[in-house]
Amino acid sequence: MDDETLLAHLELWLEPYLAGVTSVKGLQSVSVLQALKHYLGWELSQQLDEWLPTHHLLPTGNHKKIRYQLGMEPTLSVRMQEVFGEQSSPRVAKGTRAVVMELLSPAQRPLQVTRDLASFWAGAYKEVQKEMKGRYPKHVWPDDPANHVATSKTKRQLNA
């Protein structure tokens, strides 16, 4: 299914979702993804979710959204502490494509971008760890992040 086909059949898949929309704000609340999934049908929609999941389950139990943008690799932005214990980067397309991980500080600022989490833990993490221990002393910065328990809490919250 290509763009031309979708545009030629807007009345079939998008129009039902536009009922009652009378403003730009109302248009922003329309889920184009839901409209497309409904148009594709249950079976194709399930295959799409299998190939391109919308979220990744973190070791902490939280779900983070995977961003898909035209011309860019799938990207997952997540606080570094929430992926401690992960041995490798998540994969999409039935395991054929690594997701680019934007690892964030506790303040949600980018610290590192990688598609090879195992190599990051074994190498560049040591430099990031040194800097972050000074900047965010209330947070856990283990020496072996690949085998440490993931957390979204501070040291104080963990010890309480």
pLDDT of 65 strictly over 80? yes
What pTM did the predictor assign? 0.80
From residue 10, how far is each of 27, 40, 64 by CA, in Å? 15, 13, 30
pLDDT of 140 strictly over 80? yes
| CA distance linking residue 126 with residue 130, whole number of Å | 6
Judgement on whether residues 72 and 28 belong to the same structural domain of the protein: no
Judgement on whether residues 144 and 90 belong to the same structural domain of the protein: yes
Residues 71-96: pLDDT tens digits? Answer: 999 999 999 999 999 999 999 999 99
Average per-residue pLDDT in the chain? 93
Judgement on whether residues 86 and 141 belong to the same structural domain of the protein: yes
Residues paired with residue 102 on neighbouring β-strands, in sequence order: 77, 113
Instruction: For residue 77, give the 3-state DSSP assignment.
Output: strand
Task: HSE, CB side, 13 Å, CA atoms: give it for residue 143.
Answer: 0
End residue of a domain, out of 16, 31, 51: 51
HEC per residue, 111-152: EEEECCHHHHHHCCHHHHHHHHHHHCCCCCCCCCHHHCCCCC
Range of the domain at 32: 3-51
- Angle of helix 42-51 relative to helix 32-40, nearest 10 degrees, comes to 120
From residue 105, how far is each of 13, 117, 119, 149 by CA, in Å? 41, 16, 19, 17
Q: What was the pLDDT predicted at 154?
A: 87
Residues paired with residue 79 on neighbouring β-strands, in sequence order: 104
pLDDT of 108 strictly over 90? yes
Looking at the 3D structure of the chain, how many domains does it have? 2
Judgement on whether residues 77 and 141 belong to the same structural domain of the protein: yes
